[in-house]
Amino acid sequence: MIFDIKNSEKYSTIEIENIFIKSNEKNYIINLNDILKCDECRKKLINFFEDENIKKNCHNVKNAITALRKIGINFKGILFDTEIAAYLLDSSKGDYNIITLINEYLNEYPKATEENKFKIAILYIDKLKDILKEKIKDENMEELMYKIELPLTTVLSSMEALGFKVNKDMLEELAIKFKNNIDKTQKEIFILADEEFNINSPKQLGKILFEKLDLPVIKKTKTGYSTNAEVLEKLMNKHEIIEKIIYYRQLTKIYSTYVEGLKAVIDKDGCIHSSFNQTVTTTGRLSSTEPNLQNIPVKYDMGREIRKVFIPRKNGDMLISADYSQIELRVLAYIADDKNMIDAFKHHSDIHTKTASEVFKVSLDDVTSLMRSRAKAVNFGIVYGISDFSLSQDLKITKKEAKEYMDIYFERYPKIKEYISSVIDEAKTKGFVSTMFNRRRFIPEINSSNKIVKALGERLAMNAPIQGSAADIIKLSMVNVYSKLKEKGLKSKIILQVHDELILNVIKEELEEVKQLLKEEMENVVNINVPLEVHINIGSTWYDTK
């Protein structure tokens, strides 16, 4: 089954024009606009799509579910998705267009145009499905396909349809607040520069910083002085104007992207309907677009303020945040089978304090906030394959000190070092690494003759099984939570996922039951020897759930 879907980038505009169905060796082309004009035809179409016993193979199931949902049809009986299957077999390709897949897997090269590509696709979809289905089985990806990714399409479609309600008045107030802050910061920069200039012009800013204020030149480009973020970071302690410029850039970026940007995408129902994508990232994480609600900045106070505009759908409803605590470190402990780290999590120790105690050789009670902060950087740095040089840059310490921290860390957690070594070897030999659910990431960089590219490959090899396993876990949690809410007849709904966190719109009367359900489903989603811990927070805005 192939859907000719138009304007799929946005929930508000997505629609099906034609449906191409292959059944009993016959091909059918259904123009949806025509068939919906006939009541009897519409009933037959609904019966077909909503019959669980009629199994359907499809390409890009999630968009089909979403587009059908918009016209009141509940798409059931989904057996296979050729797009998801191709993505699972190799997440690095980026292009999972059905014609591309026909070329690659069937070695067929039909002359496809925009007008005829769906007619061509329907001729080949059964063959393509058979090959991809067999490959999914051969590569031991059936659990990943049928237990996680395929059921997730329904969850994501539901999230897109529900959207996230926005308080428009609060957004307007925030816009004024941002404008005032931007104006104030701009004036402060002009005072420090002793003249007015275009802060957004690298050329004018360069002249102020490196000629008028005589700051050291860090980097030059073909067009003049570089004033990028890296350069400004290195100039941070040279003049107080630098901090103001960095802050000004943050404010203007957040204002244009998340204040003015959000205004433009609020739908008629007062909600923002983001699109959630399963086949974009190489790690298995979801991505969000139009707009990207997963990337609303939380590092800065003004960025966090954006979350105040996101509210429950109805008065009296609440928002719940269910956030996995240190999920990637827990996954690392499990995959590496490091007893010391596993024990720390089993005893509900603060892993950063525990690591600080080990690295700095002090008792837990004597760990200072600086020690804990540095240990936290080491813990998360290891997950992302950090080098001693990069750690020294992050912590503003010498490379020698950074190396000592890492050496002591690996002494205390020896299995972590073994894991890193083995996963790099695996990537070099096989060309890919795998998650707990056998999700693969291919890493061609690891066998590069270029040292920089090879080092990148090694970092990717270390991190991909960890980040990918964490992604698998929260995806499976979403499927299970969605199923349980439905099974219990609850009206509360999942409306957003931000990597390790789920946001739900909760009916007030269901609050305690939903809290318990989330803890139960999310903490017991996989059977591993490291306890998963979920923090539940409740609020009347997204901001309040933190």
Q: In which band, very low, low, confident or very high, does the pLDDT at 383 lie, cut at 50, 70 and 90?
A: confident
User: Average of pLDDT values for 519-526?
Assistant: 98
Q: Summarize pLDDT for 324-365 with one digit per residue, the tens.
A: 999 999 999 999 999 999 999 999 989 999 999 988 889 999
pLDDT at residue 5 in the model = 84
Query: Considering the domain 328-470 in this protein, what is its CATH number?
Result: 1.10.150.20
- Containing 442, the helix (H) or strand (E) segment is strand 440-442
Least reliable range by pLDDT among 26-30, 209-213, 306-310: 26-30
Q: Over 90: is that where the pLDDT of 82 sits?
A: yes
Domain limits, CATH 1.10.150.20, in the chain: 328-470
CA atoms of 390 and 466, how far apart (whole Å): 20
CA atoms of 516 and 536, how far apart (whole Å): 10
Domain limits, CATH 3.30.420.10, in the chain: 2-139
**Does residue 50 contact residue 145 with C-beta atoms inside 8 Å?**
no
Query: Taking Cα atoms as reference points, which of 192, 184, 172, 168 lies closest to residue 252?
Result: 184
Evaluate whether the domain defined by 168-265 bears CATH number 3.40.50.980: no
The percent of residues in the chain predicted with pLDDT above 70, rounded, is: 100
Q: Count the Cβ atoms, other than its own, within 10 Å of residue 214.
A: 10
Q: Summarize pLDDT for 436-482 with one digit per residue, the tens.
A: 999 999 999 999 999 999 999 999 999 999 999 999 999 999 999 99
Evaluate whether the domain defined by 2-139 bears CATH number 3.40.50.2300: no
Q: Summarize pLDDT for 19-57 with one digit per residue, the tens.
A: 888 777 777 888 888 888 888 988 998 999 999 999 899
Q: Summarize pLDDT for 432-441 with one digit per residue, the tens.
A: 999 999 999 9
Q: 15-29, 111-125, 385-399, 483-497: which has the highest mean pLDDT?
A: 483-497
Residue type, 240: E
pLDDT at residue 482 in the model = 98
DSSP count for the chain of H helices, then E strands? 23, 18
pLDDT at residue 491 in the model = 97
Q: Over 80: is that where the pLDDT of 299 sits?
A: no
Q: Over 90: is that where the pLDDT of 154 sits?
A: yes
